[in-house]
Amino acid sequence: MEASKKHKSALKENDGISPPEITDDIAINKIKINRKSQPTADELVQGIFNKNITALSRAITLVESKNTAHLEKANYILKACLPKANNSLRIGITGVPGVGKSTFIESIGKHLTSLGKKVAVLAVDPSSSLTKGSILGDKTRMEDL
């Protein structure tokens, strides 16, 4: 009878759980050190040529950076990569929302990859007046590519 008097509502608040103790300080410190370490421009270029996605991501971040301290490194990366870009084809696709840009990109991308070609998609939204645009992750809309 005591329990029925104590809880007169369907809502009940349970005690939370305490956070788990850290079990691997060495691994955590290694991750922290790796985050702080910055690869050289040569390491990034070699990583790009070796198809290292992390190196490519870091290089893109450097090239897009407005920090003047990154300018020299970014220019070096661009100059080193340009000779390899001469056989690439760049296509720009624009259109109003809902017109099927992502569907078209996925279709043509699947066709090109079936021919053994490599495809990269860079989706940009230039419409923001505050940030002057953003790079988008439309991967979720192009599941088969």
pLDDT (tens digit per residue) in 118-127: 888 877 777 7
pTM of the model: 0.56
SS3 18: coil
Q: Which structural domains are found in the chain, ordered by start?
A: 27-86 (1.20.5.170), 89-145 (no CATH)
> Strand locations in the chain, DSSP E?
123-125, 134-136
Q: For the residues 91-96, what does the mean pLDDT come to?
A: 86
Kindly give, in sequence order, each residue whose CB lies less than 8 Å from that of residue 58, ignoring residues fewer than 6 positions away.
Answer: 39, 44, 47
What gap in Å lies between CA 71 and CA 66, rounded to an integer? Answer: 8
Amino acid 34: pLDDT: 79
Tens of pLDDT, residues 26-52? 888 888 887 777 899 999 999 999 999
